[in-house]
Chain A
Amino acid sequence: MMQFGVFTVGDVTPDPTTGRTPTEAERIKAMVTIALKAEEVGLDVFATGEHHNPPFVPSSPTTMLGYIAARTERLILSTATTLITTNDPVKIAEDYAMLQHLADGRVDLVLGRGNTSPVYPWFGRDIRDGIDLAVENYALLHKLWREDVVDWQGRFRTPLQSFTATPRPLDGVPPFVWHGSIRSPQIAEQAAYYGDGFFANNIFWPKEHYIRLINLYRQRFEHYGHGAAHQAYVGLGGQVFMRRNSQDAVREFRPYFDNAPVYGHGPSLEEFTEQTPLTVGSPQEVIDKTLTFRQHFGDYQRQLFLMDHAGLPLKTVLEQLDFLGEIVPVLRAEFAVGRPADVPDAPTHRGLLAAKAEVVR
């Protein structure tokens, strides 16, 4: 089974059509409302970004996800991304293990480096060490979740002697980890080495780039003996805006596109739609475009959509989630057609627990 969901960067951006900027309180509550709505319309995953600089609000992901956990039943709570470079891996191990207990296992993480260079020195780091930090910090995090008593010495943090991260992961099963990268082969290599997932946030760049990166991850996943290349765990991003009529979607979304952080004031909506996963149109057009991802990247496990950035008002975002609720059952059915039986399901706590029991037996 594939998982479908939404991911948010948590930007506080003025609505370009009204000039109104939401307050931080409004934006934070809106993110929660979006998560609850995601469960209501039948999505599987809500993932929040982590940022430590305006105009973004989500600096404390586990606080938000813990609150959402208490108000949901099925939704998997994830991140996009958790900063493996500037966070202490000990604190990540503890925070997310705690969240895992509170959420009865409905937790996983996407680890990323963060590409905002001023953030690094605020946490005593240097962006030039980004890859080295990601490699060393994750090596420690991986150990902390799997060994009850850890001795550790590395380049970037004080040594640990006889240290036990608490609480221990729920049922002795660490949260599943995806490694996110938009252009670093070293991170694809890292994900492959551990047999973890690889999340390619492909929404800003053309598919050719990600085909190379994902193929590299798949080949190296096989090289390290975790399974065949087509059995590696791949997650993808997407960005959509829907109305019943394609023209209405384009007309309504264009001012948000034209003024969007990241790609605004550059290529036209039409050019960007042609070159990237962005789809603005009818629900059927979104279905058609999303189904092409499998042709490019192979059968995959998780599809997350960015729905709430660039100043879109909450009301509009919730309408968009209704559309997602409408198309996701179609996507599930279509993606299941011709999917080889040996392609693994998307990882869940229950699945990982069952796999562990299998090994023990």
Chain B
Amino acid sequence: MTTLAVVSAGLGEPSSSHLLADRLATAVANRIDVDTKVVHLRDLARDVADNLVTGFPGARLRRVVEDVVGADALIAVTPTFNASYSGLFKSFVDVLEPGSLVGKPVLIGATGGTERHSLVLDHALRPLFAYLRAIVLPTGVYAASSDWGAQAGLVERIDRAGAELADLLAGRAPAAPAAPYGDVVPFEQLLNGGRPTP
């Protein structure tokens, strides 16, 4: 079955970032069969900090990273702190191995106290995942405090984003399992400056 990792960096309880992440996941699940794994980074804050210091993930964080890296798609939601993603959100991205998210469909979401921060999606999240060579969906969803009580707007945006991700996943081959050291470069090729030997 298609697997979907949902990562939320919300800190509060209840958290509007968690809520937005859940709504986005539901919008996908309403359209296609998905096996969803939800990650609340708040519960892993110390594990992430330890990984930054030691260079390796502890057992609990490693399982989460494997879930995220191995999923067919990722929903990533962060609160807006000082006009950008939160430090915890970025630190989690920073502990992923280079290349982990290449080609992975990512639906981005952000929450904030005011709608004036809505460009955080396009000024912070989208460039980050573009750098990581993920496939960032055209629609990102920003939810300000006022959106949760609005007559319309947020629900439609969530729905549109969920539909985009579901459509993309429907036509895609499943993610290949990560195989560390699966393809060894033969030493003759290394001796030849990395070029294949004739």
Q: Do A and B come from one complex?
A: yes
Q: Which positions in A face B, CB cutoff 8 Å?
A: 131-132, 135-136, 139, 155, 185-186, 188-190, 192-193, 204-206, 209, 212-213, 216, 220, 224, 262-267, 271-272, 275
| Cα A212 to Cα B181 with chains together (Å) | 8
A-B contact pairs, 9 of them (CB 8 A): A131-B190, A136-B191, A190-B187, A192-B187, A204-B55, A205-B56, A220-B184, A266-B54, A271-B58
Known: A155-B193, A212-B180. A193 touches B187 (CB 8 A): yes
B43 within 8 A of A: no
Give chain B's interface residue range (CB within 8 Å of chain A). 20 to 34
Partner of B184, one of A204, A209, A216: A216
On chain B, the residues within 8 Å of A193 by CB distance are 187
On chain B, the residues within 8 Å of A189 by CB distance are 184-187, 190
Known: A131-B190, A206-B56, A263-B54. 5 other contacts (CB 8 A): A185-B185, A186-B190, A189-B186, A192-B187, A266-B52
Instruction: State whether B181 touches A139 (Cβ < 8 A).
Output: no
Chain B 167-186, CB-CB to A under 8 Å as 1, else 0, gives: 00000000000001100111
Interfacial residues of chain B within 13-65, with CB under 8 A of chain A in the complex = 49-50, 52-56, 58-59, 62
What's the dominant secondary structure at chain A's contact region? Answer: helix
B127 within 8 A of A: no
On chain A, the residues within 8 Å of B196 by CB distance are none
| Cα A220 to Cα B54 with chains together (Å) | 29
Partner of B190, one of A190, A216, A263: A190
On chain A, the residues within 8 Å of B87 by CB distance are none
Known: A189-B185, A212-B180, A220-B184. A266 touches B53 (CB 8 A): yes
On chain B, the residues within 8 Å of A267 by CB distance are 50, 53-54, 58
Q: Which positions in B face A, CB cutoff 8 Å?
A: 49-50, 52-56, 58-59, 62, 180-181, 184-187, 190-191, 193-194
B54 to chain A, nearest CB (A): 5
Instruction: State whether B53 touches A275 (Cβ < 8 A).
Output: no
On chain A, the residues within 8 Å of B58 by CB distance are 267, 271, 275
On chain B, the residues within 8 Å of A205 by CB distance are 54-56
Known: A216-B181, A267-B58. A135 touches B190 (CB 8 A): yes
Closest residue of A by beta carbon distance from B53: A266
Closest residue of B by beta carbon distance from A267: B50
B158 to chain A, nearest CB (A): 38
| Cα A224 to Cα B103 with chains together (Å) | 35
Instruction: State whether A204 touches B54 (Cβ < 8 A).
Output: yes
Partner of B181, one of A135, A213, A271: A213
Closest residue of B by beta carbon distance from A189: B187
B198 to chain A, nearest CB (A): 18
Closest residue of B by beta carbon distance from A135: B190
B11 to chain A, nearest CB (A): 21
| Cα A139 to Cα B56 with chains together (Å) | 32
On chain A, the residues within 8 Å of B181 by CB distance are 185, 188, 212-213, 216
Instruction: State whether A139 touches B184 (Cβ < 8 A).
Output: no
| Cα A189 to Cα B190 with chains together (Å) | 9
Partner of B191, one of A135, A209, A216: A135
B79 to chain A, nearest CB (A): 25
On chain B, the residues within 8 Å of A185 by CB distance are 181, 184-185
On chain A, the residues within 8 Å of B62 by CB distance are 206
On chain B, the residues within 8 Å of A188 by CB distance are 181
On chain A, the residues within 8 Å of B180 by CB distance are 212
Closest residue of B by beta carbon distance from A188: B181
On chain B, the residues within 8 Å of A136 by CB distance are 191
On chain A, the residues within 8 Å of B54 by CB distance are 204-205, 262-263, 266-267, 272
A229 to chain B, nearest CB (A): 14
| Cα A192 to Cα B190 with chains together (Å) | 13
| Cα A165 to Cα B62 with chains together (Å) | 48
On chain A, the residues within 8 Å of B56 by CB distance are 204-206, 209, 275
A195 to chain B, nearest CB (A): 11
Instruction: State whether B194 touches A266 (Cβ < 8 A).
Output: no
A121 to chain B, nearest CB (A): 21
| Cα A266 to Cα B49 with chains together (Å) | 7
A198 to chain B, nearest CB (A): 13
